[in-house]
Chains A and B, each alone.
Chain A
Amino acid sequence: MSALPEVGAEAPIQVRTPTALDLFMFSASAWLLHRIHYDTPFTVEHEGHPGLLIHGPLQGVYLVQTAERWLGDRARLVSIDYRHLAPAYLGDELQCGGTVSATYEEGIEVELWVRKSDGTLTTSGKARFVKR
């Protein structure tokens, strides 16, 4: 079993550019019926957005995957908190990354983020992992 990363260590950046198909599949798998993720005329004309929104909860999944793919079998996620700071729209390229912010006897804390390619932070979070 290899050791967990130290404070300051960075997860490999994962680039995610969800397509309309990805947005639809996420809505369908969760039975999420909110139109702003699949109905472009409604989203633009009634909600005032430039296009379909990339789900906040999908970005939450990206945060978890960024950390889990990095840590693999070394650690298990026990809690995660995240906030959405700016909207992300269909067509945006999202870069997902993370940095170890603290280490404990039993595990580590990782700060996680999703940014657009122009640098805008769309989702920011913090996750705690314990050693397996």
Chain B
Amino acid sequence: MGVITEEARLWANREYPSFDFEVTATDIAKFAHATGETNPIHFDKEAARASGYPDVIAPTLFTYVVRMHASALVPVDQLEPDGSPSADVPPLPTRRAMAGETKVVLGVPVLAGDTITVTKLLAEMYEKEGRSGPLVFVEMEFTFTNQRGELVARENFTRIYR
């Protein structure tokens, strides 16, 4: 046992710089089309207003778009060969990444025109023996707030390296 080296362990409790995402109606429409949403409140300002929102509203899990940009909107030389942002990948012998578990608590919705600030913490790492060798679990914590300081979402996400 022990694929998590001392060097990798130093990545635990690592806080990343916060990232601001200025949300446009275009960003919302892209994600909505990509996920097969058809409700006009995601595309049409008038439809959103008729439902009581001041502008188009993002689909529920739009915060995923925000946190991916926070990680991956970097120069190409800061990406791993598999496309992962290098800053997200602790020095582990297990390099193949997969999504594990996600826990999201929702606050106020995201609207076009919002600026969403995401803070990000690599909380901890642990390993288990899988069928095909060691698995390393990396737990991330994200907090999303809008320009008024209101909580939009908290997310705990576990990435698995095999």
Q: Which residues of A contact B (CB under 8 A)?
A: 16, 22, 25-26, 28-36, 42, 46-48, 53, 55-58, 60-61, 64-65, 68, 77-84, 87
On whether the beta carbons of A77 and B60 are closer than 8 Å, the reply is yes
Number of B residues whose C-beta is below 8 Å from A? 33
Residues of A within 8 A of B27 (CB): 29
Q: Which residues of B contact A (CB under 8 A)?
A: 27, 30-31, 33-37, 59-61, 64-65, 68-69, 72-73, 79, 82-85, 96-106
Query: Roughly how many angstroms separate A90 CA and B93 CA in the complex, as a whole number?
Result: 28
On whether the beta carbons of B82 and A46 are closer than 8 Å, the reply is yes
Using known A-B contacts A25-B33, A42-B82, determine if residue A79 contacts B106 with beta carbons closer than 8 Å: yes
Residues of A within 8 A of B73 (CB): 31
Residues of A within 8 A of B102 (CB): 56-57, 60, 80-83
B30, B64, B79: which contacts A33 (Cβ < 8 A)?
B79
Using known A-B contacts A60-B102, A81-B103, A82-B101, determine if residue A68 contacts B60 with beta carbons closer than 8 Å: yes
Residues of A within 8 A of B85 (CB): 33
Closest to A25 in B: B34
On whether the beta carbons of B104 and A56 are closer than 8 Å, the reply is no
Query: Roughly how many angstroms separate A60 CA and B69 CA in the complex, as a whole number?
Result: 18
Query: Roughly how many angstroms separate A34 CA and B98 CA in the complex, as a whole number?
Result: 10
Q: Name 15 interchain pairs, CB-CB below 8 A, sorted by A.
A: A29-B31, A29-B33, A29-B34, A32-B68, A33-B72, A35-B83, A36-B82, A47-B82, A57-B102, A60-B64, A61-B60, A79-B103, A79-B104, A80-B106, A87-B98
